[in-house]
Structure 1
Amino acid sequence: MRILLLTTYFRPESATNAILMTLLGEELTRQGHEVFVITGMPHYDQNCIWPAYRGKLWMREQIGSMRVYRVYLYVPSKKTSFWGRLLNYLSFNLTSGIAGLLIGRFDAILAPSPPLTNGITAWALSRIKGVPFIYNVQDIYPDVAVRLGVLQNRAVIRFFEQVERFVYRKAAAVSVISDCFKANLLRKGVPEWKVEVIPNFIDENFVRPLPRHNAFSKEHDLDDKFVALFAGNVGLSQGLETLLEAALCLQNLQDLRIVIVGDGASKTALVERAHALGLNNVIFLPLQPYERVPELYSAADVGLIPLRRGLTEDSVPSKLFTIMGVGRPVIAGVDPESDTHRVIQTAGCGLCIPPEDAKALASALQGLYEDRALAEKMGRAGRDYVVQHFTCQKVAQRYSALFESLKSRSVH
């Protein structure tokens, strides 16, 4: 089949969707599909379009066997600007829609979210081209934005709720990354036959266990430390203040370091808070290139997944599979009914604690600090489980089957 990936982010960006969609596209081509990509100019890592891509309305690239069409989009200087982000979404919807009309024939569309508005463009192209589209839900919007307080205006919330329901109604199929996501959509009236649970994944050959003492560990003077790592978006949903409070409780462990790697809307405030508390056991590092992911995560003794209370049902952090993939144990601050909690408990790959509970986090860290054998056992269990259940090849096979099943469904 000729498949169009309609995604705001794609490699060489390091956004989660960029990595997932690139890996998925490459695997689909290996399984015999012809994959076309419409995506934005690279911008996620720098809050501006990268220099090599500036001043262009669109351009074409070849990444492996995939033909990639990049289009202009507006990039706000501040990610926290609601109207700036909305203009970012809408500008991509306009330019990607035009590109979709010009690139020729395709048989199906896969449009991952966020943003939610990509579903509108996918629907428009599906109607004009007479092909089905799959809407892939990576985060449930506007639910997450409402719970974080980003969206508070009732009229705006109702508007995005209507957009959400429209996209679900018009999609030939909706793929979600967890059972909790599926339950959320069913409560909103999406027919069960339309919802397919297809989890996220890793490239198990790339995301693999490396020595604990490696180049990254040496560069940042971590070889003789017990390292608890958070790597990812330093944003509103992570609840990273909890890490600082736990660090305050653990200052008696002289060789323990909590390492926070990444950038985002909350980083400046978090760094200022750490300085105000006088924490010398917290290290902040910038976002790292994707190529360094295996050694970054392998340089840790434990991986951290902190989330805010009430958000864990609407989000399954992809870093969970990365931590498991490098064979490190996980400590996750998640609600007990969440899919993240279920995976960790089933795999036996870590500890789950209540969200935003600094004392529980400190206790869990101290427990693994004192029992290194248990930490190593959990890490091995995580690696075994993720290779068995969450590889790119297996996920791509499920998408291939879903695409084939859509051939008989009408476009509306």
Structure 2
Amino acid sequence: MEPINLKKVLIHSIVFSPDGVSTAYLYNDIALGLVDSGFDVVVLTTTPHYNLIESELSKQPLSKKIFGLYYVSNFKGIEIYHIPLKKYKNTLRRIFSFVYWHLASFILGLKIKKIHFVLSPSPPLSIGLISLLIAKIKGAKAIYNVQEIYPDLLINQGSLNSSFIINLLKKIEKFIYNYSDAVTTIDKVFYSTLVPRFDNFKKLHIIPNFVDTDLYKPLKCKQLLPAIFGEDNKKIKILYAGNIGFFQDWAPVLFAAKELSGENIEFWIIGEGVQKEFLEKEVQSHNLTNVRIFPYQRRELLPIINNHVDIHFIAINQKMEQEGFPSKVYTIMACAKPLVVITSENTPLYNFLKGKNCAELVTNDRNVNFTNAIRKLSNHKELREELGVNGYKEIINNYSKKVVVSNYANLLNSL
């Protein structure tokens, strides 16, 4: 029997455990943190489709319900409802799967009893609309978490050209903002962008993302990696781990790889995404033997990999750098590792890193300056260590899981 004073939070997210992607990991921790803060939590999500990790699937098996119309699982005591969603290559099948997920989520969300709060992260924008409808019908409070600004990101990457669809999405966006009980976003730049879109800006709150400092932390010595990585060749290793997509700027990376091909430097790229095939073809066509591309790895391996390499890099596409913030920056800093970051001034990522002395920031002449920054850090071990320590201190003081999840709990309790 549910305790009378235990308020229930429905987390409605397009990814959650056992899917192995950053937003899933983020909301796994938020869910567990809210439970620790005295809330009852239930999750409405998809079937794993983004990054399938067999070991995680075996630890959290899905049970079929109503001939596969939906599935259920259990994540550390939290009940999870999974609506089927697949990344079909066929456009019509992909659209149908996406529409089905929305409709089924709405119906299943209405069947979940005694909901007090509905918390949903973007993307996609449409999840905020479904969550808001569920909340209003159930008499719950709706909280929308803006991780990426839509439809701005789609417009800037060139995915949207129809003025009718753009105007429709902008109206949906404003509707979600103004009818939600609270909207959270992750930094001051996002906040400034979104404020003019609110009738009542007091609904908008800044709650940054965070990192699990029990998992991501400095390791005193290098640990063995899986055989796929091969034996250590003693080269300076520069890592990007995450989505390989249009949000990243791959031109300076390929330029640097060509320029540094004769030096004791090796690029590691770990992940999946729509640009992976392009990247593999470029590496092959230019015979870039200093670039190695690997599939996604288990979450438990990422701290070991983060610590194993010498430098991390993040390169943001100029057309989209105002609408997103790569959460991997937290995990890199938590492992006390230095960064080389390509981003323009006055972007969310630039403003976050500016003045923290934990990264080399490349804001112009991207190809040459990115190459020079890598060469600089490769040749100065003491500087790498200094930047890494500075980043680690910043995370411990301001961006630990305990600090940030308490902000979510306080927000819910204030509504």
TM-score, normalization by structure 2: 0.91
Counterpart for residue 265 of structure 1: 274
Note the C-alpha offset of 1:158. 1.6
8 Å CA contact 1:175–1:197 kept in 2: the answer is: yes
Measured in 2, the distance between the counterparts of 1:282 and 1:396 equals 38
Note the C-alpha offset of 1:31. 1.3
CA 1:83–1:144 in 2, change beyond 3 Å: closer, same or farther?
farther
Counterparts of residues 8-407 of structure 1 (less than 5 Å): 8-45=14-51, 56-73=68-85, 75-78=86-89, 86-211=95-220, 213-216=222-225, 219-222=229-232, 224-253=234-263, 255-354=264-363, 357-406=366-415
Q: Which amino acid aligns with 1:69?
A: Y
Note the C-alpha offset of 1:17. 1.4
> What are the Cα deviations for residues 352-381 of structure 1, in whole angstroms up to 9, with x where unaligned?
102671211100000001111001110011
Q: Which amino acid aligns with 2:41?
A: V
Measured in 2, the distance between the counterparts of 1:94 and 1:356 equals 47
> What are the Cα deviations for residues 97-146 of structure 1, in whole angstroms up to 9, with x where unaligned?
11111121111110111111111111111111111100001110110111
Measured in 2, the distance between the counterparts of 1:156 and 1:356 equals 35
Q: Which amino acid aligns with 2:250?
A: L
SS at the partner of 2:274? coil
Report percent identity of matched pairs. 26
Note the C-alpha offset of 1:86. 4.6
> What are the Cα deviations for residues 62-82 of structure 1, in whole angstroms up to 9, with x where unaligned?
211312122223x2323xx77
CA 1:223–1:299 in 2, change beyond 3 Å: closer, same or farther?
farther
Measured in 1, the distance between the counterparts of 2:310 and 2:79 equals 40
Note the C-alpha offset of 1:212. 5.7
8 Å CA contact 1:111–1:134 kept in 2: the answer is: yes
Note the C-alpha offset of 1:346. 2.9
Counterpart for residue 4 of structure 2: none
> What are the Cα deviations for residues 195-235 of structure 1, in whole angstroms up to 9, with x where unaligned?
00001111001011125632128743345110110110000
Q: Which amino acid aligns with 1:2?
A: K
Measured in 2, the distance between the counterparts of 1:335 and 1:214 equals 35
Note the C-alpha offset of 1:241. 2.7
Measured in 2, the distance between the counterparts of 1:271 and 1:278 equals 10
8 Å CA contact 1:35–1:67 kept in 2: the answer is: yes
CA 1:281–1:117 in 2, change beyond 3 Å: closer, same or farther?
same
8 Å CA contact 1:37–1:66 kept in 2: the answer is: yes
Counterpart for residue 13 of structure 2: 7
Note the C-alpha offset of 1:342. 2.3
CA 1:257–1:190 in 2, change beyond 3 Å: closer, same or farther?
farther
> What are the Cα deviations for residues 222-277 of structure 1, in whole angstroms up to 9, with x where unaligned?
45110110110000110123211111111231x20011111110111111111111
Q: Which amino acid aligns with 2:77?
A: S
8 Å CA contact 1:234–1:240 kept in 2: the answer is: no
Shifted more, 220-229 versus 169-178: the winner is 220-229
Measured in 2, the distance between the counterparts of 1:94 and 1:223 equals 52
Q: Which amino acid aligns with 2:238?
A: A
SS at the partner of 2:325? coil
Note the C-alpha offset of 1:384. 1.0
Note the C-alpha offset of 1:85. 5.3
Measured in 1, the distance between the counterparts of 2:117 and 2:365 equals 42
Measured in 1, the distance between the counterparts of 2:301 and 2:8 equals 33
Shifted more, 347-356 versus 226-235: the winner is 347-356
Measured in 1, the distance between the counterparts of 2:268 and 2:150 equals 30
TM-score, normalization by structure 1: 0.92
Counterpart for residue 409 of structure 1: none
Stretches of structure 2 lacking an aligned partner (at least 5 in a row): 1-6
SS at the partner of 1:45? coil
Measured in 2, the distance between the counterparts of 1:381 and 1:83 equals 49
> What are the Cα deviations for residues 301-337 of structure 1, in whole angstroms up to 9, with x where unaligned?
1111101114222111001001101110011101110
Note the C-alpha offset of 1:92. 1.8
